[in-house]
Amino acid sequence: MNRVTVLNFDNLKIHLETVQADTILLRFDGEIHENFKSKQISIPKAASYVVNLSGLKSINSLGIREWSTFVAILCRNANVTLDECSVVFIDQANIVPQILAASKVTSFFAPYFCPQCNLELNCKLSTTTHRKRLQERRAPQIIHSCGAELQFDALEESFFAQADRLLGDK
Ligand SMILES: [Zn+2]
């Protein structure tokens, strides 16, 4: 049976779950601010950690410092994968690449816009499936459920500035 622990830091919740004998899943939901105290977390030893950041809504400068220490320690003796990184996290990674530490990013969200539905939406991009376009720092083409092609809703050269790091090429 999977053991689930939920840690509460005010507006941040961290779900800890042992998914396989040697893999621990950590899901961050909320805001990484000064409320996040990485030293208060005792994480069981594992060979790999999968960190899901789809629920990360904001991260400020104090949070970045704390997070960077936290993820660097996690990377020291284990394989760390960042999964479903939110747009907020990628925006920060473009300014402060250290927040990625030695982790491997498998997927992340990017902002798109549907001109037909007049709708803003975040689409999940994969560092394997969309590898080629991302290497060129160009937004992968995505067709909306309505049939229209989505427009990328940020500056490609800015949003994909750290593409090499995200793809693990650097
Ligand atoms: Zn549409």
Distance 125 CA to ligand 1 centre (A): 18
- Which among 75, 103, 86, 115 has a CA at the least distance from the CA of 165? 103
Domain layout of the chain by residue ranges: 1-105, 111-170
pLDDT at 127 over 90: yes
Distance 141 CA to ligand 1 centre (A): 13
Distance 108 CA to ligand 1 centre (A): 21
Distance 121 CA to ligand 1 centre (A): 10
CA distances from 106 to 6, 40, 79 (A): 24, 27, 12
pLDDT in tens, 28-61: 999 999 889 888 888 889 999 999 999 999 999 9
Q: Which CATH class is domain 1-105?
A: alpha beta
pLDDT at 1 over 60: no
Distance 138 CA to ligand 1 centre (A): 21
Structure tokens, 16: 């800890």
Distance 55 CA to ligand 1 centre (A): 24
DSSP secondary structure letters along 29-80: EEEESTT--GGG--PPP-SEEEEEEEEEEEE-HHHHHHHHHHHHHHHHSSEE
